[in-house]
Amino acid sequence: MGRLAEAQKEIRRAQELDPLSLVINARVGITAYFSRQFPLAEKQLKDALQFNPEFILTNVFLFNTLYQEQKIEESIPYLVTAAFNAYSKEERARFESEIRNAYSRSGEKGMLAKLRELVKTSERQDYSYAYFLGWTLVRLGELDEAFVWLNRSADLKHPGIAVLRVDPMFDGVRSDPRFEQLMKRVGV
């Protein structure tokens, strides 16, 4: 809903009440991310990783935060953990290597193209598949296909759809009429 100052106040209070909660500590960082306080989000999310380095939510938003800070190479391990969590550590290491190599050769666009390829050819397509693909296509500027996948993500009720209106990753597409149609469709 965009009431970020109120959200920060409430999540900080929750953290005071339960300072050892993984979810609450991750949410403090996520709320800072949505508020575009990226250095604070990075610190809080890295602190939250100490509770559980495999927690998908923390990895998703740490990737997002580092990406927003243009720390793209540093963001790659968190992206891999978030997008390919269902895979073995060996498979994730291979994906990370492929994404790093693509980034080394072709920068951000190369990394995103490799991510698109890996997600599309993934054997384990869980409910996050459509969302990660939609996000990747938005970043690549392939908006027609991106909105197809974001709408599929809405069909799957992926929680990321509920926060698109405040997620900095989607700042560049909010003026697209399809974005507003998607927001109306999901009631946000």
Span 13-57, pLDDT tens digits:
998 899 999 999 999 999 999 999 999 999 999 999 999 999 999
Scanning the chain, the segments in alpha helix (DSSP H) are 4-17, 22-34, 38-49, 56-68, 72-83, 89-120, 129-140, 143-155, 177-186
The yes-or-no verdict on residue 126 having pLDDT over 80 is no
**Amino acid at site 113:** A
Tens digit of pLDDT for each residue in 101-117?
Answer: 999 999 999 999 999 89
Q: Which fold has domain 1-96?
A: 1.25.40
pLDDT band with cut points at 50, 70 and 90 for residue 129: confident
Task: Evaluate the CA torsion angle 11, 14, 19, 22 in order and state its sign.
Answer: negative
Confidence of residue 85 (pLDDT cuts 50, 70, 90): confident
Sign of CA dihedral 7, 9, 11, 14: negative
pLDDT at 124 over 70: no
- Band of pLDDT at residue 1, cut at 50, 70 and 90: confident
Q: Where are the domains of the chain?
A: 1-96
**Which whole number is the average pLDDT over 119-125?**
75
**Full-model pTM:** 0.89
Q: What span, in angstroms and rounded, lies between the C-alpha atoms of 161 and 178?
A: 13
111 versus 159: which is more confidently predicted?
Answer: 111
